[in-house]
Structure 1
Amino acid sequence: MSLSPFHLAIPVYDIDAARSFYRDVLNLEEGRASTQWVDFDFYGHQVVIHEHPKTPSQESAHTNVVDGHDVPAPHFGVVLPWAQWEDLANRLKDNDIAFVIEPYVRFKGEVGEQATMFFLDPCGNALEFKAFKDMSQLFAK
């Protein structure tokens, strides 16, 4: 599967804390930057943090129930290979990142079975990282 990289710009009210999180915890490579924004290589995609006053969704996230868990909305993330997802989950735990939804396997034994975890960046932006043992299940119904 060949994908075109996406570009996503997100608001952060503490650019230094967010920069450190994306660079040092998620281990993303920095690209261009200024005092008000920083580009990151987000697994081949371009995610940019932009300094911005705190938004309502950063203050108090809305949730929707999925598989019995309160999933924050909005959120963003990426689908990783299974071993890379496990490595990230361990790195987040080692960095004492508080999970909104602890790493677990969702829809176990069903179509679309996937590993998932949710956590917040230092500015309250919700992220979800997933993995599928069978990538053909990514869009399965």
Structure 2
Amino acid sequence: MSLSPFHLAIPVHDLAAARHFYAEVFGCTEGRSSAQWVDFDFFGHQLVIHQAPKMPHQEAAHTNAVDGHDVPVPHFGVVLGWEEWERLAERLRAHEVRFVIEPHVRFQGQVGEQATLFLLDPCGNALEFKAFKDIGQLFAH
């Protein structure tokens, strides 16, 4: 599967804390920046953090039930290969990240079985990272 990189710009109310989080915790390479924003190579995609006032979803995210867990909405993230997802989960644990939903396998034994984890950045933006043993089930129903 060949995909084009996405571009996503998100609000952060503490640019320094968010910059540290994406660079140090995730290990993302920093690109261009200014006093108000920073570009990152986010697993091959362009993530831009923009200084902005705290947004309502950063105060307290809405949640929807998915496979017995309260999934924060909105959220974003990346679908990784299984081994890359496992390495990321270990990296996040090593950085003592507090998970919203601990790394686990959801829909076990069902169509769309996937590894997933959820966390918040320092500004309350929710992120999900997932992996499929069979990437062909990404859009399965």
What is aligned with 1:106?
Answer: 106
Equivalence map 1:85-124=2 (5 Å): 85-124=85-124
Normalised TM-score (structure 1): 0.99
Unpaired runs of 5+ in structure 1? none
Q: Secondary structure at the match of 2:115?
A: strand
Q: Secondary structure at the match of 2:64?
A: strand
What is aligned with 1:49?
Answer: 49
Equivalence map 1:58-97=2 (5 Å): 58-97=58-97
Unpaired runs of 5+ in structure 2? none
Aligned identity (percent) is 72
The alpha-carbon deviation at position 5 of structure 1 amounts to 1.1
What is aligned with 2:127?
Answer: 127
Query: For residues 93 and 47 of structure 1, what CA distance do their matches in structure 2 show?
Result: 22
Query: For residues 107 and 64 of structure 1, what CA distance do their matches in structure 2 show?
Result: 16
CA deviations 1:42-72 (Å, max 9, x no partner) are 1111110000010000001100000010000
The alpha-carbon deviation at position 94 of structure 1 amounts to 1.0
Normalised TM-score (structure 2): 0.99
Query: For residues 6 and 135 of structure 2, what CA distance do their matches in structure 1 show?
Result: 19
Runs ≥4 residues deviating over 3 A: none
The alpha-carbon deviation at position 4 of structure 1 amounts to 1.2
The alpha-carbon deviation at position 111 of structure 1 amounts to 0.2
Query: For residues 82 and 29 of structure 1, what CA distance do their matches in structure 2 show?
Result: 22
The alpha-carbon deviation at position 36 of structure 1 amounts to 0.6
Query: For residues 73 and 115 of structure 2, what CA distance do their matches in structure 1 show?
Result: 18
Letter in structure 2 aligned against 1:14: D
